[in-house]
Structure 1
């Protein structure tokens, strides 16, 4: 699908034919749509609860039910894509997304709504690793893959912010139902075009599915995501939250030992032992933890301190989205010049330094200029780190393991998105005095503390990865 190699057979392809371009558009459209779904309902939660009869205390299940399935089943479906076909799983997942979105838009009671969100989460868990695996198997390692991953990373990172803006617009202009309905024509278009431009990549012999491994890792991830989500809603000393987190970690440890014993593991221990895979995914988790948590903190600042409306806050944060677009352009170029390791380290360093001015935000409206500049620079840097981790975590592996590699990479993204808000929520809550509504100065102090932690985490991650990642690019060291 991509342009062929030069006559010497060594130069990587640098241009796309028409079919490859359409395939890229199809895959990126699907990825962006799924990323938007993570946040498109956040602004509309009060309206949804009032219409379907969901109490205020249970509103978080609209987001949590989606996140549980999206993160918990990603690794499982990534392996299913390897075993039964990436294109097949992609098409099934997009069809499920369209059906679930249609049902969600028609929801008239909590059961119907939550069922639709669960189905959307399962669709996300199926489509996201399949789409990324199709990208990495369609485009060979080198400039084309880096460009494709850069665009994919930009759209997925920007989708979180875009979802908040789009959700506000649709809710204000039409109704919250259209935050669901908007997915239906997109899913129909993708399902219609994808079979014409996407090629299947399946192994000659189909290995067995590692059922014990699939059960332990899925239950472990579900428990951890549930524990994190509940901790963000309640507190970090909530007994059920702690029990879920401990059980989840125990199941993941059990999963590791299962993988060492079974003949055909869900994840090869050798793959997990690769520094590029292991540390690349650590970078992915922290890239999304730091950026999504900062979006949450700045949303509080813009609305609770500066008095912006939800839609106004979303539009203000659109500058971060513009930064990710520029980061998508600069990221592949940085990797070509610096290598993926130095790109990741530089990205986290610049992101941390751009976050430092936000520690000193005040209650005057003029501080919006600092927010706009800092988030724009931080968006560029964060996206460069995201592209670097995607390239690092998926390079040097054969096609029949790309579903697994991309499943791990996407799982890292979704765990990072899930972890970010509960962590900073706990920091803000612990810093605020008492349980009454805080004054602006008290909230500013709490937000400053949480932003300080965010900046420190970026810089600490940069330092750790500088030592942990191989010094040469993953693309040039297959055995790293």
Structure 2
């Protein structure tokens, strides 16, 4: 369910601009409400699952995910959909954390654990891999609501599987919930995402934007204070001294600086940049997502043979290489899904190699009784970086389109209208007002969108390469110690 929810919803976003009259920022918030809610609940879930039982929390979260998916499917207004997506994100984040904690406790031996997480990666990849085409086919035969309503049916099946196969477990050392840490971290993430998303409209140097930024910094400072003073913090900073944990965490962040946030915008490129319908766009996206289904077991075997300190940075580098190939493919004169295919495949392979070794390393580098806390930090790092980069990629895309349009209209003085046009183009719209239609070249909108996506792919590639280098640096001292011994 969690994988399918990530990859099927982006396919319907271009259509929501027309159906629900959603603008570019609202489309961003349809995704970011979900990711910020995941971040809000994840650390609380880790503690609650350790304390009250991972199976119990898992069952509650599955029920909540089914109910909130029903609410999303019934939404008739974009504001209602954003609010219900936040509720769905709360349930989804709780569901994912409880799931990883259960796997970590129920499968503790080396090969058994690797096999379990390999299967987990495959199942997660099934949702991710087939999500785009499922979303496109749902749009073709029915309506966008069923992209959410399908989870109601899957939730029923999942509950039956949990009752049959999951044993209860808890951490006898679990303590009181870190409420202040949860609230302050959530406010900091929301504030930063809001600052990035709304900054172009409000003005980054406006009193409103500066006030949001100040509140964000204060919230983050309070979070650090809360974690240092709480007797049982949700972020136990001592685990960052474990190099395997910290190096793997760079892998979590790297995937969500590149692969996952770009998933939100790639359907726009396929539909508006290359002119494909939702079904064809979903088929084209399979090259991006299907490798995440095939390669998690390969990543686990490589990690067992060569250690995560080698596999994780190499996986991140491969993702970056895929982004550079996608940029090259999109810049060709007759760009199509075929020119994008090599880059999509390579990026997906890199993600498949990286994902399960990261998850296994973060939870496996601490005692099994602290699996909930470790998985909570890992998944929170993923969701925080994802939420920030959904907003940041949206800003980069719209700013690149705006810059391109401004070059085509050097004498156009209404920057507010031009920025609104750039955001509309970034969202996939091809409508031009009659006034601008008379002065813009016929291909201006398409060229601006293609230019914007080229900059976005460059950002994704460079950022994940930088994080791969940081991961190597963190892992490297451990190698030197082993060599000395």
State TM-score, norm by structure 1.
0.82
The one of 369, 374, 378 equivalent to 1:409 is 378
Given the alignment of the two structures, is residue 175 of structure 1 paired with residue 143 of structure 2, yes or no?
A: yes
Residues 59 and 289 (structure 1), Cα distance of their counterparts in 2 relative to 1, 3 Å cut: closer
Tell whether 2:377 aligns with 1:371.
no
State the partner residue of 1:468.
474
Change (3 A) 1:381 1:456: same
1:214 and 2:182 correspond: yes
1:427 corresponds in structure 2 to 396
Q: Does 1:457 align with 2:463?
A: yes
Instruction: Indicate if the aligned counterparts of 2:49 and 2:98 stay in contact, CA closer than 8 A.
Output: yes
Tell me which of 100, 104, 128 is aligned to 1:136: 104
Alpha-carbon separation, structure 1, partners of 2:7 and 2:206:
25
Say if 1:88 and 1:299 are closer, same or farther in 2 by CA, change over 3 A.
Answer: same
Q: What aligned pairs does 1:56-67 form with structure 2 within 5 A after superposition?
A: 58=26, 60-67=28-35
CA deviation after TM superposition for structure 1 residue 79, in Å: 1.7
Partner residue of 2:63 out of 89, 95, 98: 95
SS at structure 2 position matched to 1:267:
coil
- Name the structure where helix makes up a greater proportion of residues: 2
| Counterpart-to-counterpart distance in 1, 2:322 and 2:81 | 39
**Residue 380 of structure 1 pairs with residue 349 of structure 2:** yes
Residue aligning to 2:234? 266
2:257–2:389: 8 Å Cα contact kept in structure 1? yes
Q: Which segments of 5 or more consecutive residues in structure 2 lack a partner in the other structure?
A: 407-417, 426-443
Contact 2:199–2:209, Cα closer than 8 Å, also in 1: yes
The answer as to whether partners of 1:325 and 1:380 remain within 8 angstroms in 2 is no
Q: What are the equivalent positions in structure 2 for 1:39-438 lying under 5 Å apart? A: 39-45=7-13, 58=26, 60-108=28-76, 113-153=81-121, 155-156=123-124, 159-160=127-128, 162-204=130-172, 206-230=174-198, 240=208, 243-296=211-264, 298-360=266-328, 361-362=330-331, 364-365=333-334, 367-431=336-400, 432-433=403-404, 434=406, 435=418, 436=421, 438=444
Aligned residues: 443
CA distance in 2 between counterparts of 1:272 and 1:372 reads: 38
1:425 offset after TM fit, Å?
2.7
How far apart are residue 305 of structure 1 and its match?
3.0
TM-score computed with the length of structure 2 as normaliser: 0.81
Partner of 1:447: 453
C-alpha deviation, 1:231, in angstroms:
5.3
Note the alpha carbon deviations across 1:24-76, whole angstroms, 9 max, x for none: xxxxxxxxx12322353344347667767878874554333323212222122
User: Hey, what's the Cα distance between the residues in 1 that align with 2:215 and 2:311?
Assistant: 36
Match of residue 439 from structure 2 = none
Q: Distance in 2 between matches of 1:329 and 1:220?
A: 36
Q: Is the 8 A contact 1:259 1:268 kept in 2?
A: yes
Q: Is the 8 A contact 2:326 2:344 kept in 1?
A: no
Answer yes or no: is the 8 Å Cα contact 1:54–1:110 preserved in 2.
yes
Distance change (3 Å), C-alpha of 1:419 and 1:109: closer
CA distance in 1, matches of 2:200, 2:132: 19
Structure 1 unaligned spans of 5+: 1-32
Residue 186 of structure 1 and its aligned partner are, at CA, apart by 1.2
